[in-house]
Amino acid sequence: METAEAGDPARGHGGQMMNAFAQSAAASPSAWKIDAVFLFIAVVSLFFFLLVEGMLIYFAIRYRRRKGAEEGATSEVRGNFILEVVWVLVPSLAVLAFFIYGYVVYRDVTTPLPGASDINVVTGQFVYEFKYPDGRAAMNELRVPAGKPVKLIMTSRDVIHGFFIPEYRIKQDVLPGRYTYLHLQPDLEGTFDIYCTQYCGVGHSTMRAKLIVMPPDAYAAWAAQGEGAKAAMSPPEKGKALMEKFGCMGCHSADGTVKVGPSFKGLYGRRVELAQGPAVMADEGYIRESLYDPGAKVAKGFPNVMPTYKGSITDDDVAAIIAHIKTLN
Amino acid sequence: MTENTADGTMLSGGGRSRGYLEEKGFRSWALTLDHKRIGALYLYTTLFFFLLGGIFALLIRIKLMYPGQEIFSNHTYNVLFTLHGSVMIFLFIIPAIPSGLGNFFIPLLIGARDVAFPRLNLASYWIFVAGILVILGSLLRPMDTGWTFYTPYSAKTAANVTLLSFGIFLVGMSSILTGLNFIVTIHTLRAPGMTWHRLPLFIWGMYATSIIQVVATPVVGITFLLLAMERLFGVGFFDPAKGGDPLLFQHFFWFYSHPVVYVMILPAMGIISEVIPVFSRKPIFGYKAIAYSSLAIAFIGFFVWGHHMFVSGMSKTAGIIFSFLTFFVAVPTAVKVFNWIATMYKGSITFESPMLYSLTFIFLFTFGGLTGMFLGALATNIHLHDTYFIVAHFHYTMVGGTVVGFLAGLHYWFPKMTGRMLSEKMARWGWLLTFIGFNLTFLVQFYLGFKGMPRRWAEYPPQYQSLNIVSTVGSWIMAGGILVMFSNFIRGFFRGDPAPANPWKGLTLEWQTASPPPTENFEEIPVVTDWPYGYAKRKTAGPPPRFFDRGAGDG
């Protein structure tokens, strides 16, 4: 608590790219990279802008007809093939460069960061709920220790919401019925805005949260203080209990033994060969889908016999089960 | 060179022919099969909704002058931005140029007496009106979803989504019928000798537009039917709890709504391609490049809808493909801009209001197009998406582009449509105020968007206020400009100086008949012998170029 508001120097800090944007200064590695793309496109576009508008204005002045003057002789030229080729090729090269640079940085900022800690985000009209692996939960306040990457695993309870951190230059829609992800590298301490960017109803414009990046020791103190706010069980513990209750362990092992179905040991993050064809990454979305619609992607070499748990488990349960499976790596 | 072709139009002295406007009375308008009257009906209707949508916009801007203003509730604000978007897009921009100016001028420009199916044309106007009535009926419980109708919100809100989407379904049906009519007209009713490569470029633009209307519009109709079934019967196409997919709606919606931005811009580009050579007294530069780039834009435009969905949760692979394709829509657009500017090179340029608007189109649309580069690139898109940067970008292309192009067309063809001239002085004042007001309103929004202000916000943190005030003041100046412009239209309509048949010395066929044109358009169908852009004035004396002979047949 105490360090959070004091940690505001970050606001002025990241502005090496664009000082003018003081209020929304870039505050993470992703932001610096994206600002660089912005700057690159801005410079190239400015060149084309000045070229086009310059010619437009120059020709308009240079070739104007004075009031009352006779129509001047004009050229009969109807076109020029070489020119057409030039102004097809040059813009093509420019947009190709935009595409490639934009793609490279996009791939970079959407790639999971090594060693990231998972935080579940559940959105609903008109709040953000953050759930930590150790069972702590908070509304509209996402506290993270500086320097440690974070992976947000997001889903919505009702309609589509957005998750936008202007100072990080990243956003992702949050959908009901599936997971979407954001990868944060909170290097600068400070408080940053989180905005909902997908219209979600009458409270849309006040659906805002804070990202509070704390010094690691202050974060640890806060986390310890938050013990009381914990649920009775942490998500992995709850997941373990649920899996026993639902009888998952009858067919799946936790120790690598192959039973009716694949073992959970080392499952998370592995590539799974599918009976239906190519392999998929066993991420949160895959595990969730396998609970709700087990026949959709059956692991190769296993029978398609698992029943669906749709209707019998809640989104919270699914998140807990995933959290438990992650601990088996 | 044109005076001699204006025969029979300027009766010296009093008895002036009012051409197609001669007949009076409600029935003569409501049941007319004359494409010019139907076009005029569309123009009156769409201009009314342009003003109405503008009033909604002014209210939105007033609310946004203060971070959390209580002048009206946030819900009312949400309704207003939904109405502003829906009215401007479905009842103004989409029908204004194609159905309004297109109806009026396609037959005139290709030397035909009417469109191919006059009765279908009248039917499509009345279907359009029926759609409008249904949409107005939905105002009893007005929509608050934004014009994009995203599910699951639109499936859950208490508002009249079903009724509004049914209204838009009808409007879309009218749009399909009009597009169909134009395609057949352009294929079958061209004057003798008017080969494809002698077609005026406005016709090329309208042809590409009509193809999009016919191919894409059914998709939005189906989408809204699915949405209605979702709401009425709880079918669950888009509801994940029932195995549906909310993203499916977005794919359907943008599969129509992206191509439809080309329905908005291509006809405007066609108008610019007509006006620039006339006022530069130069042949259009790169005719074929401009003509085929319209088709290229229409074609590529079908494969880029996913660029509205980079942060929606769509797969990364899809995002990469859509980003790549998106950038290649920019190329044929750039080709057009370069060709227009090359047309001005070594011209003998005058700046009457149609030309002023056309140059403004190039100026603003270039800016709008270039800001689209930031949105097409994946990395910058994930920052700028759903912020005011988007709002500014599409207003630069849709207002700075389409609406300005439409206004160029209105000023250019006003003498032809009404038989009266506009006041050039008022036209210039209207232009100046609109230009200043527009840029003031939307330029600052790029900056607001970069700073992170999301769109569709009724309230915002105070750091965004100063620029919002600038934007709101800009909207008032722009409203002043539009007011002057419309006063000019009304004054010109009733009291403007009589217009000659060909006030701008244009070579396209609509200028070779009376202003306003007689009901049958041409006394005799002309025979075309060359393209319509032979504006160059030779240094040596000789007969001026002609691109048609009259009276060689009545096609």
The alpha carbon dihedral of A201, A203, A206, A208 has a sign of negative
Predicted local distance difference test score (pLDDT) of residue A114: 92
Residues 157-216 of B with CB under 8 A from A: 157
Query: What is the model's pLDDT at position A13?
Result: 39
Q: What is the pLDDT of residue B547?
A: 61
Task: With a cut of 90, say whether residue A101 has pLDDT above it.
Answer: yes
CA–CA separation, B429 vs B486, rounded Å? 12
Among the residue ranges B167-171, B377-381, B523-527, the one predicted with the least confidence is: B523-527
Report whether pLDDT(A67) > 80. no
Average pLDDT over residues A42-71: 90
Reported as a single tens digit per residue, the pLDDT across B481-517 is 999 999 999 999 999 999 999 999 999 999 999 999 9
CATH code for B32-549? Answer: 1.20.210.10
Return all residues near B112 (Cβ < 8 A) that are at least 6 apart. Answer: B106, B185, B189, B190, B191, B521, B525, B555
Of A42, A99, A197, nearest to B454 by CB-CB distance is A197
User: What average pLDDT does this structure show over B119-143?
Assistant: 93
Nearest to B382 among A71, A101, A170 (CB): A170
Assign A165 to helix, strand or coil: strand
Which of B245, B378, B468, B505 is the best residue to mutate to test the A interface, defined by the most A CB atoms within 10 Å of its own CB?
A: B378
Residue-level pLDDT at A230: 61
Q: Which residues pair with A170 in a beta bridge?
A: A165
The residue extents of the domains of chain A are 1-63+78-231, 235-327
B262-300 residue pLDDT tens? 999 999 999 999 999 999 999 999 999 999 999 999 999
Instruction: Write out the CATH class of domain A235-327.
Output: mainly alpha
Q: How confident is the model at residue B542 (pLDDT cuts 50, 70, 90)?
A: low
pLDDT of amino acid A6: 36
Q: Collect all residues with Cβ–Cβ distance below 8 Å to B526 and sequence separation of at least 6.
A: B111, B191, B509, B512, B548, B549, B550, B551, B552
Q: Which of A37, A45, A158 sits opposite B379 (nearest CB)?
A: A37
pLDDT at B14: 41
Q: Length of chain B in residues, anyone?
A: 555
Q: Hey, of B82, B293, B382, which one would you mutate to test binding to chain A, going by the most A CBs within 10 A of its CB?
A: B382
Domain boundary assignment for chain B: 32-549
* Confidence check: pLDDT of A15 > 80: no
As a whole number of Å, the end-to-end CA separation of chain B is 25
Question: Residue B55: beta bridge partners?
Answer: none
Interchain pair A78, B283: CB under 8 A: yes
Residue B438's pLDDT band, with cuts at 50, 70 and 90, is very high
pLDDT, residue B127, reads 97
Minimum Cα–Cα distance from B319: chain A residue: A103
Orientation of helix B316-344 relative to helix B287-300, angle to 10°: 160
Q: What are the residues facing A280 on neighbouring strands? A: A272
Terminal CA-to-CA distance of chain A, rounded, Å?
34
d(CA A14, CA A33): 12
Q: Is A101's CB within 8 Å of B377's CB?
A: yes
State the helix-helix crossing angle for B118-137 and B35-63, rounded to 10 degrees: 20
Could you please state the CATH topology (level 3) that the domain comprising A1-63+78-231 is classified under.
Immunoglobulin-like (2.60.40)
